[in-house]
Amino acid sequence: MPRPRCPRCKRPASHCLCALIPDLASRTGILVLQHPDEVDHALNTANLAVLGLRNAELRVGEVFEDLAGWLAQPGYRTRLLFPGEDACPLSAVVEEDDSRPVRLVVPDGTWRKARKLLHLNPALAALPRVTLTDARPSRYRLRKAPMEGSLSTLEAIVAALNVLEAPADYRALLRPFDALIDGQIAAMGEETFKRNHLS
């Protein structure tokens, strides 16, 4: 019989993270497009990010039929947070002569699955891309990063908001993330963690 789960944070009820999730406002709108394989993943950081932000929403799928409508909502400058040769530093968006807030579209999945989301959704791939520079190293100690500077979805959102919303600080979003990682390490045992993740 499956363990009861918190309907909000999706964690086992005995390990609910809701008490650590903040309630933060932002001018920046966040739209997370999550690959279906991430929904039931034990380390679903995108869900934690969206729960902690008032101006954020999460959509799950591979092909987003309503994407053009979501992107056409007025009042925002929409950017895709994803690296690429044509991506400009996120800090450059702050310097643009445009007072409208930014809507940041964030694909959520492994790098391979995130690229697939772009491939399957041409409107997504056509968005102007922005990328993070000088981000802190990832605190995600349970996944080996495929490339230098890789961050979890939640960490990328925090870093982006700290650029776009400065001097506001969004690191409170990392509290449930840190607790989630610590809980996973405790569950597997220190020796297993050291053997599999520190080598």
Q: What is the pLDDT of residues 59-110, one digit of tens each?
A: 999 999 999 988 888 899 999 999 988 999 999 999 999 999 999 999 999 8
For residues 179 and 16, give the distance between their C-alpha atoms in angstroms, rounded to a whole number: 10
Say if 183 falls within a structural domain: no
Say if 70 falls within a structural domain: yes
> Which domain covers residue 67, as residue numbers?
23-133+149-171
Say if 27 falls within a structural domain: yes
Contacts of 156 by beta carbon, 8 Å cutoff, 6+ apart? 81, 106, 132, 135
Q: What is the pLDDT of residue 89?
A: 94
pLDDT for residue 121 is more than 60:
yes
Instruction: Describe the crossing of helices 174-188 and 153-164 by its angle, rounded to 10 degrees.
Output: 160
CATH number of residue 129's parent domain: 3.40.1280
pTM of the model: 0.86
Q: How many domains does the chain have?
A: 1
Say if 15 falls within a structural domain: no
Say if 157 falls within a structural domain: yes
Say if 62 falls within a structural domain: yes
| pLDDT tens-place string over residues 26-43 | 999 999 999 999 887 767
What kind and span of H or E run contains 116? helix 111-120
Say if 3 falls within a structural domain: no
